[in-house]
Amino acid sequence: MRIDPQFRWAIYAAFAVLFVTGAVWLVADALKESDEFWQQTAANLLMVHGGAAMVTLMLLGALVPLHLRRAWRARTNRVTGTVMATFNAVLIVTAFGLYYSGSDVVRLWISRGHYGLGLALPALFLVHVVWGRRATAEAGPDARSQSLPADRVGP
C-alpha cells in the first residue's frame, strides 16, 4: 500500500526531525548542568521537537484514511502497522503527559517510556517499510493497481 512519494518523504522528514531532536536532547539534557550552552541547546531542541510533533500529528491524521484504513481493508502488513499505530499513539499520550504532568515521579516514568519508544521507533519504522515493500513485490506488478481506491476507504 504505497504512499504518494511527496507525502512519504514528508513523513520520513518529520520522523527524522523528531528522532534527531529527541536523541540529541537526551545528550543536551544530561549535560545541561555542566554548561549554559547545553542548557540553551536543550531548550531549543525541545521547541523544535514540539513543532515537529505538531507537523507529525497532522501527517499521521492524514495517514489514517490514506494508508492505514486502506491497508487494513486490503489485509496487508497488519502486524507492523498495528505496532506502528500503537507506538505512535503511546508517544502522543506520553508527550501529553510530559507537558501536563504535575508529579515528578509520574513524569519520570512517562519520560522513560517516551524516549524509550522514541528511540525504538526508527527500527520499527524500517521494519514496517521493508516488510510492506516485500509484500508488495511478492504480490506481483499489479499489486499497486489492485489496492482500494481512495473513494472506497469506508466500511
Residue 152 domain flag? no
CA–CA separation, 93 and 98 (whole Å): 9
pLDDT band, very low/low/confident/very high, at 153 (cuts 50, 70, 90): very low
Read off φ and ψ for residue 99, nearest 5 degrees.
Answer: -75, -35
Asked if residue 151 has pLDDT above 80, the reply is no
Number of structural domains (the chain) is 1
CATH label of the domain that carries residue 128: 1.20.950
- Residue 122 domain boundaries: 5-141
Residue 135 lies in a domain: yes
Q: Is residue 155 part of a domain?
A: no
Average of per-residue pLDDT across 95-112 = 92
Question: Is-contact 127 114, C-beta < 8 A?
Answer: no
Rounded CA-CA distance 42/33 in Å is 11
What per-residue confidence (pLDDT) applies to 147? 45
pLDDT exceeds cutoff 70 at 57: yes
> Does residue 150 sit within a domain?
no
Burial of 155 per CB tally in 10 Å (0-12, 13-18, 19+): exposed
